[in-house]
Amino acid sequence: MNVLLIGSGGREHALAWKLAQSPKLGKLFAAPGNPGIAEHARLVDIDPADHRATVDFCLKNSVELIVIGPEAPLVDGLADNLRTMGFAVFGPNRIPAQLEGSKGFTKDLCARHGIPTARYVRASDRLAAEAALEDFSFPVVIKADGLAAGKGVIIAGSADEAGEALATMFDGGFGSAGSAVVIEEFLEGEEASFFALTDGRTIVPFGSAQDHKRVGDGDTGPNTGGMGAYSPAPVLTPELERRALSEIVEPTVRALAERGTPYSGVLYAGLMLTGEGPKLIEYNARFGDPECQVLMMRLESDLLGLMTAVARGGLAELPPPSFADATALTVVMAADGYPGAPVKGGSISGIEAAGEAKIFQAGTSVAGGTLVSSGGRVLNVTALGTTIAEAREKAYSAIDAIDFPTGFYRRDIGWREIARQAASAGQAEAIG
């Protein structure tokens, strides 16, 4: 089967690497791809925003399945147009992708179906938003309604900060994403990411992970798209996972099917594990980046088989996905300046010497025969271990072999879980 993969990040490199392991794969094409993806796919120069050109390419090259990695083409309705032309697509149509494309859409759906999430108010002008603030205590969370690359969330500690955040949003600081806002209650707890595959009817859990969104060690500094992740996230215990599935994901998928806009693809639930149980922070209509990289390292099932079943509505006929009983951990190497304007063109060498780690490429390109940085997040150094400490050790020793002078990375990926394990080992010793 010929497949077209849309996207150019570390997430898509991990997907390409895994798809390439499938015995069912014919040709793999990627648009636009990156030098890492090019090891597994033929890169094609079509713009996924040009739906007509994408359809024509698929017709000409006998593509049967299109895998859409990032959110923008989903929210833009690429899947709808491909489905109309008879292609199998991994990724939701435009309306169900509103779960990610509009925070207000998701909050209203949660409210209608009793899905646990933070109490909220939607506002589409500054005066209404300021008035709504009266009903919240501080800190309060202010979110741009639309897509903002993970950066449209401000946690305001005081009325002054909240006022400033609203001014930024309504003055266009987040582009059109901020022309409407959601104001919500601040939730206390630890975050975890939970993934499920669904064809609109059948839902299967697809693993957990924990991301590290802040740019600096110890979870300091501004939010990023994610500086590192590990999977599984044991903080999401089997009991909490069952609750997230039955109280959050299942009612969401059912609600979208009932309104005639079924969700098909991977549904990524960002959860806050509160004292009252898991609550939804946000949905993403795609795999997380870098969470996908750690899921793919652990996945044992045939990814192409799973994606085809999701796209064609046959998920119920497949055995549940199987994952290695090991921990995968990835460290993002980013370019200096990220999450602001990253330094581009910085040379990268030594990735061949990564040992047991797998290096997924994100913002890279080739210039004059050498690999250089071309985006904010550049490499994802990913390793598998029997414990999280072992996976971390392997990832960081691979980083030591990489020479990327204009890059930086967090040194503490996995710290929450490692601290928890150290504490429980200490306790066991004290009891023993």
> Which residues are near ligand AMP by CB under 6 A?
118, 141, 143, 150, 153, 184, 186-187, 191, 213, 270, 281-282
Return d(Cα 204, Cα 393) in angstroms, integer: 32
Among positions 191, 211, 241, 302, the unique one binding ligand GLY when judged by CB under 6 A: 211
- Is residue 339 involved in binding ligand GLY (CB under 6 A)? no
The interface partner of residue 186, options being ligand GLY, ligand AMP, none and the CB cut-off 5 to 8 Å by kind, is ligand AMP
- Helices and strands (H and E) in the chain: how many: 14, 23
Q: Which residue number, 71 or 302, has a Cβ lying nearer to ligand AMP?
A: 71
Return d(Cα 91, Cα 3) in angstroms, integer: 14
Contacting range for ligand GLY; rule: CB under 6 A; set: 91-99, 178-186, 284-292, 332-340? 284-292
- Is residue 225 involved in binding ligand GLY (CB under 6 A)? yes
Tokens 């994100």 locate to 362
HSE of 207 in the Cβ direction (CA atoms, 13 Å)?
28
Q: Which residues are within 8 A (CB) of 132 and not within 5 positions of it... i.e. 6 or more apart?
A: 121, 123, 183
Q: Which residue number, 122 or 213, has a Cβ lying nearer to ligand AMP?
A: 213
Contacting range for ligand GLY; rule: CB under 6 A; set: 86-94, 178-186, 283-291, 328-336? 283-291
> What is the smallest separation between the CB atom of 104 and ligand AMP, expressed in angstroms?
12
Helices (H), 291-362: 291-298, 303-312
Total count of residues recorded for the chain: 432
Among positions 33, 288, 339, 363, the unique one binding ligand GLY when judged by CB under 6 A: 288
> What is the smallest separation between the CB atom of 159 and ligand GLY, expressed in angstroms?
29
> What is the smallest separation between the CB atom of 238 and ligand GLY, expressed in angstroms?
23
For 216, the token pair is 């600096």
> What is the smallest separation between the CB atom of 143 and ligand AMP, expressed in angstroms?
6
The interface partner of residue 291, options being ligand AMP, ligand GLY, none and the CB cut-off 5 to 8 Å by kind, is ligand GLY
> What is the smallest separation between the CB atom of 212 and ligand GLY, expressed in angstroms?
9
Return d(Cα 168, Cα 126) in angstroms, integer: 10
> What is the smallest separation between the CB atom of 188 and ligand AMP, expressed in angstroms?
7
Helices (H), 195-343: 238-243, 250-258, 291-298, 303-312
Q: What angle do CA 278, 180, 153 make, to 5 degrees?
A: 45
Q: Which residue number, 5 or 162, has a Cβ lying nearer to ligand AMP?
A: 162
Tokens 């040992």 locate to 355
Q: Could you report how far apart the first and last alpha carbons of the chain are, in Å?
A: 56
The interface partner of residue 284, options being ligand AMP, ligand GLY, none and the CB cut-off 5 to 8 Å by kind, is ligand GLY
> What is the smallest separation between the CB atom of 224 and ligand GLY, expressed in angstroms?
8
The interface partner of residue 184, options being ligand GLY, ligand AMP, none and the CB cut-off 5 to 8 Å by kind, is ligand AMP
144 by DSSP, 3-state: which? strand
Q: Where are the beta strands (DSSP E) in 78-211?
A: 88-90, 120-123, 140-144, 153-156, 181-185, 190-198, 203-211
- Is residue 226 involved in binding ligand GLY (CB under 6 A)? yes
Return d(Cα 88, Cα 309) in angstroms, integer: 9
> Can you give the binding site for ligand GLY, defined by CB under 6 A?
150, 211, 225-226, 284, 288-289, 291
